Every structure is written in structure tokens, then in C-alpha cells.
Structure 1
Amino acid sequence: MRMGFERIASEEIWQGHIGGVRVDTFRYDDGEEATREIVSHPGAVTVLPFDGERIWLVRQPREPVGEQMLLELPAGKLDVEGEGLEATARRELAEEIGMGARSWRHLVSFYNSPGLLAEENHLFLAEDLFDEKREAEENERIEIVPLGIADLDETIPRLRDAKTLIGLLWFRAFLAGR
């Protein structure tokens, strides 16, 4: 059963550097109202860099979830005014692993946790890779991790990061359809 709704009120509770928290009230088609706490976020890109033999991942600390070194695909926020999705993906690939790509393909867009977080993530496949100057952001602690295609099926069950799981499962399906 499909039920429509409209936002009838919104109050910003807190605004930080990356996002904020607001309390919104919604009215459904049947007249019932519901209040939701929402974490706002500008959105993000995730890059799946593939050189024909390996996927390039990063391992980095994720303090909010208590992970010392979480294995992830390179990714970053849409935090530069006027910068498009692919341009953000190109910037993040260079910043995180010091590579560029000649071939870019948008694979899918998805919501990470739509019950709480207003963040849309855009997954790009980057191929025909080349070395590019790496300019890591301040306070980033990143280890670059190449993952051979032969190790893909063994690695997927050990992952804890949603965007990386989505990306690698999409990539596995992409390879099967090539």
C-alpha cells in the first residue's frame, strides 16, 4: 500500500561542520502526523577504482563507530559549492589514493540509512587509472589497500561498511554481465 506524505514543519536543532540535526513533522494522506529526528548531510560519492586486476580500497579509522581501521572504497562528501558528482569523485580519488581515471561510469545512487540520515550516496566506477598527486586532507589517516579480483568473494563477507558492500556487490554483478 502506497501512502503519500508532506512535510508540514521543520526545526533545525543543531548545525555542525558536516551536517545537522532537525526535527520534522509530516502529515500522511490519511491525516495522521508523525515527528522524525533527521540527520542532514550534503550527500557523498563513492569511487570503485579498478585497474583491470585490482580494486583499490582504503583502510582508515572511523571513530564514531569505534573502528580502528575500517576497510572502505574511497569516498567523500559533496562539500564544494557548485562541484558536480563526477568532479567530486575525481577529487576524492586523487585525495585518498593518489590516482586519477580516464573512464568514469555512474553505477547507482542509494541512501545509506534512510530512517535517520538524509544522505544520498552516488557510486562511480573509475577505470583506466593513472597516478596523480595525492593531497590528503588534514587529519586523514589512510592506508591504501589493493584488492585482487580473486580475493573479492572472500573479502565481501568481512566488510562492515555499507557503501563498500554495496559497491563491491554491484561490481561483482557488473563483472558477471560484462
Structure 2
Amino acid sequence: MRTAKISWLAAATSLALLPLGCAAPGTRAGDVQATPPSATASAAVVPEPTGPRADAPPRHGDNNRWKRRHELSEADQRAGEKLAARIRPKLEALRAAGDYAPASTQRALLDLGIKAEAIEVTGMRAPIGQDAPPPGAVYAARFAEAGCVIGDVRAERVMVEVTGAAAEFGCLEPFSH
């Protein structure tokens, strides 16, 4: 019992004195440097971390693997960019007319000759804490084997992005929270 009290008291005393003894030798007035500074001394090299990210939860990568998209070949990337260049003016015209309806977005994509089975259009989702979604549409147009042109049409912008499809869900990521 007495040993436990002494150990506890020693630990508490050490912790209390720790801030007083943290300065490195030679940093206080009157200290004598033990070894002369080297002309070739350099700052300590800290290696890059190689383990999991410290701020990511365990298994984060595995848990989000379903979201990973296919890499596009150079040819598929070029094909996607050509399709995106055709889509953007049609959707910009809708936005300029103040028409952000999903049905109008789908019609514009169909008018470009994109097959109905390659198109997915939905309304915008309501932001967290709000009951009604903002006006606008989210769309995807699938091309080649695993390519997608995705984006949205809303009052403040038209977004057009070329990306690969995900094995789990295709072009548009399903809502999850």
C-alpha cells in the first residue's frame, strides 16, 4: 500500500515538473552547449507516413470501395469529352430559359440522339435540414463500356463531368447518408 502511494506521488510530481524541464540544453540563458554545433547539421528528417490515414476511420477504404469508378482509356476519355461538348450547350440553353425540370433535361439528352437506356435523370435532393429540394436535375449519360457524362442543371450552374462508371451502381451514385 505504501509503495503504491509513493509511486503515485512520484508520478504526480514528475508530471508537475515536466513543463519546467522541457527546454533543450543550451536554450536557456547561461547554459553551456555540451557539443559544438556541426557545420553540416541539418533538420531532422521525418519520414512520410505509410500507414492508414490518421484521420480516417478503420476500414474506410474497404467500406467505400463500392464508390470507385473505372479508369477510362484515352480513347474513351476523348469520346466522353466529345459527348460532354455536345451536352453542355443544350443544358446551358435550358438553364438560360429557367427550365431545370428533370423531364426537360431528359428530353434535351434524347434530342442529342442519346439512347433512352443510356440516360438517367433525377430531381435534386433536399439539403440536410430542409424539406424541399431546390429546383434542378441531376443527370447521367452512359457511353462506351464504362464511361459516364454526369452533372446537374440548376439556376446557378450547369455541371458536366466525364468519369468512369462504378461497378456497384453505374453512373449516378445512389443517395446514402
TM over 0.5: no
Report which of the two has the higher share of helix. 2
- Structure-1-length-normalised TM-score: 0.25
Instruction: Please tell me whether Structure 1 or Structure 2 has the larger radius of gyration of its CA atoms.
Output: 2
- Structure-2-length-normalised TM-score: 0.25
